Amino acid sequence: MSLSLILQAALAGITNGFTYALVGIGIAAIFKGTRIINVMQGEFCVTGAMVTVLLLNNAHWPYWAAILGGVLSGVVVGMLINVLFVRYMMRKGATQQTFILLTIGLAITMSAAVLFFIGRSGYVLPPFGGEDATVILGAVVQSHAVWLILIALGITAGLKLFYHRTTIGIAMMGASIDADGATTIGINVPRMNMLTFALGGGLGAIAGILVTPLVSVDYAIGVNLTLKGFAAAILGGLTNPLGAVVGGLTLGLIESLAIVAVSSSYKDVIAMTILIAIMIFMPNGMLGRGGRRGG
Amino acid sequence: MSRINWPLAVSVAAVIAGTFAVAGTVCAQPKEPIKIGAVLSITGPAAGLGIPERNGAQAAVKSINARGGVNGRPIMLIIEDDTTNPDTAVTKTNGLIFNQDVAAIIGGSNFAASVAMGGITDKQKVPQFAFTGLGPAIEKTRHCVFHMFTPHYLNARTLFEYSRSINAKKVAVLHDSGYGAVVVRELAGIMKDYPDIQVGTIEKFDITATDVTTQAAKIKAGNPDAIFVFAVNAVPFRAIRALQMTQPIIALNGASSYETVSAMGSAADNVIIPEFLVAEDPLPRQKDFINYFVKEIGAKPKNPESVAWDAIHVIAAALTKAGTETRREKLCEAIRGPYAGVTTDYDFSAEDMTGIKLSGYIFSKLVKGQYTRLPFVIK
């Protein structure tokens, strides 16, 4: 086992980890603001990526404008999900389990809609920084992977500031922790919930746009992204976006190093065993306690 | 002169005229269509196969009906979507056999569906054309289940044959946990026939994986002359090229679709695929089909479209030969035998219910995202 192989595995693990984290951040954000576990986060990724592809390839928009359009589409879809479904179900006193079923159903519907309207083809987006790659001690690092990591870190830092330093962010947290209390002090809870879903949709769209140059996007990829993002979010502590980063990195690195150290055939067994052990000893996630404190 | 009984004469004339009128009406009625069922994965993960298979079958039916049908009887294609679920495939198959009384069934789009459907169709002796190669051992006992694709061991052999032709002494394998894992199990039996080719690193990835860079890195560390990829999506191809590996990638024909090539992006270069149809440079026997398909469907066909086209035409040919009322075991018997298809030459009496030979393959090569046909042929 050479140094370049170990380094390549570590880099792949870090890149994958941030991919999972980007999806997990969206799941954590929606949970933080509404206490709803959003199983359709991966479909927000697909929506953002597909709209960007269509605006770039079919409408011939400049890349930066297509990206903005893609992010906006995620925001709008998130808001619509909240207004059309979640708000009504909240008024009816739906339980958390019911919301999980709702988001599962919406995920299947959105995937089918993409297949129907766009087709079964996979699409790629141009990587940030072009096709350039850097070779470090025999390991190849693509420019786009570096951009993905930097943007993910920026989003994490931005969310931390948003929830702690902005009125809206604090109001969104308050609305999720105690809706009645928040209403009492004048917070418009339904609007905060809508903004939470808009935020989650936007974050999902950003994740999809960043991931697509690396893996390509099609109608079926949403559920896979959701599963990995969910694992990252749970591992890190569901209420903490930073936890999703820690969880994602942990998952990505464990997977990669398991492949190199043992065998690709046992990657999932090893990764899941270690994750189960972590959850047994840290049932609230690795940063979960911080989340309960409002972090 | 005897008197003519005019009332009687008019009555007789009316009866005669009425008889001709009724006969004329009966003759003018269109003949009853021949029903052929299709159980395909139009939705779900296997939609990438099911949709082109549906398109190929529909084009075939349209073509046959435009030429007057089978002995004057049009074909009616009844399409059912199994949603990539074998349980649904069984339910749909039962419906087609017992409610619709179809003459034959095409499908499934994947192994699980084909094998599940075969339990019904073979028992009822309804000819089934599976869009998969021969799978588990039980399929060898199902003599009414015919296969439109080659068995795994034949697919795997083509990769070794091509590797030998380019003097690749050491190959590595990157395979998915689905179809790829099944083919890998055949490798051990095949490798002994190719002692000049060493199989080095074998790496596996989950069929739903979005990244396989680490597995590709292990492949790279082994420094192979060529890389076998057993997968149906673009992920492993992108991973290999992202690590700046320039060795030829030799892939199974499950990856050969315009959609997958599109998803490969810049990785769709120096990829060789043993398959059966290259629309950009077709064999003479394939030109009419390709021209018709492009004109009617507006897109170039690949292997799933052409095998579906062939399946419908095989059924039509058998019914033409044996009679359009022929059903069940007699129709199965009529099908068993050689058939020169658009895709390749079949022999449905062969043990693998396909009869495709190694020489029936053609080899395509992706050059900067475009299919080209290589002159290499396995003798």
pLDDT one-digit tens code per residue, B303-347: 999 999 999 999 999 999 999 999 999 999 999 999 999 999 999
pLDDT at B9 over 50: yes
- Distance (Å) from the alpha carbon of A266 to chain B's nearest alpha carbon: 9
Relative to beta strand B198-205, strand B104-106 is unpaired
Delineate the domains of chain B, giving CATH numbers in brackets. 34-151+284-357 (3.40.50.2300), 152-280+361-373 (3.40.50.2300)
- Distance (Å) from the alpha carbon of B125 to chain A's nearest alpha carbon: 34
Spell out which residues of chain B touch residue A58, defining contact as CB-CB under 8 Å.
none
Q: Residue B262: which of A9, A123, A211 has the nearest Cβ?
A: A123
Query: What is the average pLDDT value for chain A, to the nearest integer?
Result: 88
Average pLDDT of span A60-68: 96
Q: What's residue A96's pLDDT? A: 86
Query: Residue B304: CA atoms inside 13 Å, Cβ hemisphere, count?
Result: 25
Mind listing the pLDDT tens digit for each residue in A158-201? 988 998 899 988 888 888 888 888 888 888 888 988 999 999 99
Least confident of A277-286, B67-76, B87-96, B349-358: A277-286
Say yes or no for a CB contact (<8 Å) between A264 and B215: yes
Inform me whether the C-beta atom of residue B232 falls under 8 Å from chain A C-beta atoms. no
Q: What's residue A179's pLDDT? A: 81
pLDDT at A135 over 80: yes
Residue of A105, A106, A90, A110 lying closest to A36 (CA atoms): A90
Name the B residues in 303-332 with CB < 8 Å from any A CB.
none
Band (A294; pLDDT cuts 50, 70, 90): very low
pLDDT at B23 over 70: no
Inform me whether the C-beta atom of residue B258 falls under 8 Å from chain A C-beta atoms. yes
What are residue B147's DSSP bridge partners?
B130
**Assessment of whether the complete model's pTM goes beyond 0.90:** no
Is B205 within 8 Å of B233 (Cβ atoms)?
A: no
Say yes or no for a CB contact (<8 Å) between B234 and A133: no
Is B164 within 8 Å of B196 (Cβ atoms)?
A: yes
Mind listing the pLDDT tens digit for each residue in B37-70? 999 999 888 888 999 999 999 999 999 999 999 9
Instruction: Give Rg (Cα) of chain A.
Output: 19
State the DSSP H helix or E strand holding residue B120, giving kind and residue range, or none if neither: helix B111-124
Give CA–CA dist A42/B27, Å, rounded: 60
Band (B366; pLDDT cuts 50, 70, 90): very high
**A116 to chain B: nearest residue by CA?**
B43
Amino acid (one-letter) located at A33: G
Does this complex have an ipTM over 0.90? Answer: no
Name the A residues in 45-104 with CB < 8 Å from any B CB.
none
Delineate the domains of chain A, giving CATH numbers in brackets. 3-292 (1.10.3470)
Is A240 within 8 Å of A28 (Cβ atoms)?
A: yes
